[in-house]
C-alpha cells in the first residue's frame, strides 16, 4: 500500500514540473515579443510625445492628415499652423505626426 502512495506522490510532483516545462515556450515567446515589438514601440511613442510637446513657433510640422505647414502659435492642446501665405488652421497638438528638421531637404527632391 505504501508503495502505491509513493508512486502516486512521485507522479504528482512530476506533473508539476511537466506543467512548468510546458509553459517555458510561452514565456520565451512573450520575452521575444517584449524585446522586439512592445518595448521598441513604447520607446518610439515616448520620443514622439517629447517631440510634439517641444513644438514651438516657426517649426515646420506634418499633421496626421499629411498637411505640411509652419507653426505660428502653440497652446497646451492646440497649435496654429500656416499652410500657405495667409492661410492658418488650428489643429489638436496630438495630431502632429512629425516635426521636420530646419533646412532639411524635401522628400520629393
- Does residue 109 have a pLDDT over 70? no
Q: Are residues 100 and 60 in contact, defined by beta-carbon separation less than 8 angstroms?
A: yes
Q: Are residues 69 and 83 in contact, defined by beta-carbon separation less than 8 angstroms?
A: yes
Residue ranges in the chain assigned as alpha helix (H): 2-33, 39-53
pLDDT (0 to 100) of residue 17: 78
Its pTM stands at 0.64
Please give the angle made by the CA atoms of 59, 77 and 49, to the nearest 5 degrees: 65
Helix (H) or strand (E) holding 67: none
Share of the chain above pLDDT 90, in %: 59
Handedness of CA 44, 47, 52, 57 (dihedral sign): negative
pLDDT (0 to 100) of residue 20: 81
81-108, pLDDT tens digit by residue? 999 999 999 999 999 999 988 766 655 5
Amino acid at each position: 500500500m505504501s508503495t502505491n502512495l509513493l508512486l502516486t506522490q512521485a507522479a504528482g510532483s512530476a506533473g508539476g514540473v511537466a506543467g512548468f516545462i510546458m509553459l517555458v515556450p510561452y514565456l520565451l515567446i512573450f520575452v521575444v515579443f517584449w524585446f522586439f515589438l512592445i518595448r521598441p514601440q513604447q520607446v518610439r511613442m515616448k520620443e514622439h510625445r517629447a517631440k510634439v510637446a517641444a513644438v514651438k513657433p516657426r517649426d515646420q510640422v506634418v499633421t496626421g492628415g499629411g498637411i505640411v505647414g509652419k507653426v505660428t502659435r502653440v497652446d497646451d492642446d492646440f497649435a496654429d499652423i500656416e499652410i500657405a501665405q495667409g492661410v492658418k488652421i488650428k489643429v489638436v497638438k496630438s495630431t502632429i505626426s512629425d516635426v521636420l528638421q530646419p533646412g532639411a531637404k524635401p522628400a520629393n527632391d
